[in-house]
Amino acid sequence: MDNKIEVEVFRNGPEIGKYYSTTFYTRTTGSFSKGDKKYFTTNPLIYVGKCIEHGSEGYGDNAEHWEIFENDDGKKETVFYDYEGTRCFVESKS
């Protein structure tokens, strides 16, 4: 029996100045074209801190996108989006 807890996560990018955890989604429901698509994960949520910068480089399939976060200790961490588009964020309390 699998005891993992499933939580809803969101694919929209984080807002500068807000605090987040990140993970990858493991399951979807609904349809993008109908506007009812939802994303869920059983993966652990990893706290990354306050979003301080968005970044990208390249174009098309060769583009790379990332977010830079600052944790509670002032350490900066870069979080890259994956090619498959499964990177998600959940807003967290600071």
Whether 15 has a pLDDT exceeding 90, the answer reads yes
Sheet hosting strand 38-41, strand order edge to edge = 7-9, 38-41, 27-29
Report pLDDT for 13: 86
Tens-place pLDDT, residues 50-93: 999 999 999 888 889 999 999 999 999 999 999 899 999 999 98
Q: Are 54 and 41 a contacting pair, CB within 8 Å?
A: no
- How much is the pTM? 0.85
What residue ranges do the domains of the chain occupy?
A: 7-92
Whether 8 has a pLDDT exceeding 90, the answer reads yes
d(CA 11, CA 24): 9
Tens-place pLDDT, residues 20-39: 999 999 999 999 889 899 99
Buried residues in 39-62 as b, exposed as e (16+ CB within 10 A): bebebebeebbbbeeeeeeeeeee
